[in-house]
Every structure is written in structure tokens, then in C-alpha cells.
Amino acid sequence: MMRIDRAGWDDLAALAALKWADVPAELTAGRSLAAFTVELEEWWRAHERTHVAFVARSDDDRVIGAAWVASVPRVPRPGAADRISADVQSVFVLPEYRGRGAGRGLVAAACAHAVSIGAERVTVHSSEAAVGLYRGLGFDDSPRLLQFLAPTTAAPETS
């Protein structure tokens, strides 16, 4: 059994540990989880009006997964002054807890939050493995939602 909660500041260390576990080791080499936790706290404090986190907790109250939802104000149009879109971000469940509904619960909570604040649409950039989960929750392809990927900058050549 598990439960899904809206994350609070007391979940910061667990949220940082999950993000830390969700990246390749080369991205954490030479860095410390403690320093990243401080960075995440500073970032979250600067973005707490637009970014809400949800956590999945195991029976023993351990945080085993998380999902964030970002709300983005949209340009008003006549008759709709307060338009919002939302994006589900950074969904991650510890590998030993996958397949038990935590991811589904986290995404459902993020979407419910987005709808509750008036989001017209909720998007997600999914891994190939999670496409079925999102489709099962009502996400679908959009032929008009396009993305522009910024070109990567090559390292300067040395002579």
C-alpha cells in the first residue's frame, strides 16, 4: 500500500535524493547530494508559485517516487483572461517500487492539481517506457503540439 501526497518543505531531502538517483552517474561525479539539495531548495523557493511536487510514500512512510507539475500562464484572449497550461515533469519512482501504481498515482495527482487550477491542457515529455502509463491516464498525441530543440553548442576548438 502507498499514498500520494502533495510534497512540502519537509520532503526536500527526499525530492533531491530522487532527482539524484534519476540521472546518470557522470552527472553527479564530483558533486555532493547535500549541495544539490541546497540548489533544489533555492530553485523551488524561486518557483514555488508555478511548480508543485507530489510524492509517493511507502507503507513505512518512505518517499519512493515524485512528480512535479509546472503551471504556465498563457496570453489572455477575449473572454479568457486567466489561461493556464501545465506540464508534468520529473516523474520518477525508485526501481524496486515500479509496477505497483506509484507512477500512475503521481501523474494522476499532478493532472488533478493542474485541472483544479484551471489548466486548459496538460503536457508531458515521456520516456518510451512510460508512454503506456500516460496513454492509460488519458494523454494522447497532438498533431499541433510541436517542439523546437535548441542546437547544442560544440566545445570550442583549441589550437
Note the pLDDT tens digit of each residue in 64-121: 999 999 999 999 999 999 999 999 999 999 999 999 999 999 999 999 999 999 999 9
Q: Is residue 144 one of the residues assigned to a domain?
A: no
Question: CA-to-CA distance for 91 and 129, rounded, in angstroms?
Answer: 12
pLDDT band at 156 (very low <50, low <70, confident <90, very high): low
Would 142 be classed as within a structural domain? Answer: no
- Alpha-carbon span 61 to 64, nearest angstrom: 9
In a domain, 51, yes or no: yes
- State the pLDDT confidence band at 63, using cuts at 50, 70 and 90: very high
Residue 13 sits in which domain range? 3-136
**1 band by pLDDT with thresholds 50, 70 and 90:** confident
Helices then strands (H, E): number in the chain? 5, 5
DSSP state of 77: B
Q: Is residue 148 part of a domain?
A: no
**Is the residue at 146 inside a domain?**
no
The reported pTM is 0.90
**How many domains, in total, are found in the chain?**
1
Q: Identify the CATH number of the domain in which residue 30 sits.
A: 3.40.630.30
Query: Looking at the domain assignment, is residue 143 inside a domain?
Result: no
Environment class of 159 (CB within 10 Å of its CB; exposed 0-12, middle 13-18, buried 19+): exposed
| Residue 86 belongs to some domain of the structure | yes
Measured at the alpha carbon of residue 26, what is the angle toward residues 22 and 29, in degrees to the nearest 5? 100
* Predicted pLDDT at 96: 96
In a domain, 129, yes or no: yes
Express as a percent the part of the chain with pLDDT over 70: 96
